[in-house]
Amino acid sequence: MEAETQETLIAALRLQLDWGVDEALEAEPQDRAARASERAEVPAARSPSPAPAPLRAQPQLLPASVAGTRAQALAAGADSLPALREAMAQFEGSPLKETAMNLVFADGVAESGLMFIGEAPGADEDRLGRPFVGVSGQLLDRMLASVGLSRERDFYITNILPFRPPGNRTPTDAEIALFLPFILRHIELARPRLVVLLGGVSAKALLRSREGITRLRGRWHQVTINEGQALPALATLHPAYLLRTPSAKREAWNDLLMLRRKIDSTD
Ligand code: URA
pLDDT of residue 32: 47
Percent of the chain with pLDDT over 70: 80
From 115, 135, 136, 201, mutation site for ligand 1 pocket: most ligand atoms within 8 A of C-beta: 136
pLDDT of residue 17: 57
From 124, 125, 139, 156, mutation site for ligand 1 pocket: most ligand atoms within 8 A of C-beta: 125
CATH match of 64-266 with 3.40.470.10: yes
Greater model confidence, 166 or 2: 166
Distance 118 CA to ligand 1 centre (A): 6
Percent of the chain with pLDDT over 90: 74
Q: What is the mean pLDDT of residues 32-36?
A: 48
Distance 122 CA to ligand 1 centre (A): 6
Q: Are 231 and 192 in contact (CB under 8 A)?
A: yes
pLDDT of residue 97: 97
What integer best gives the mean pLDDT of the chain? Answer: 87
At residue 236, what are phi and psi to the nearest 5 degrees?
A: -145, 175
Distance 230 CA to ligand 1 centre (A): 24
- Least confident window among 35-44, 127-136, 232-241: 35-44
Distance 198 CA to ligand 1 centre (A): 9
pLDDT tens figures, 49-76: 455 554 445 558 898 889 999 999 999 9
Q: How far apart are CA 199 and CA 181, in angstroms?
A: 19
Residue ranges of the domains in the chain? 64-266
Band of the pLDDT at 252, cuts 50, 70, 90?
very high
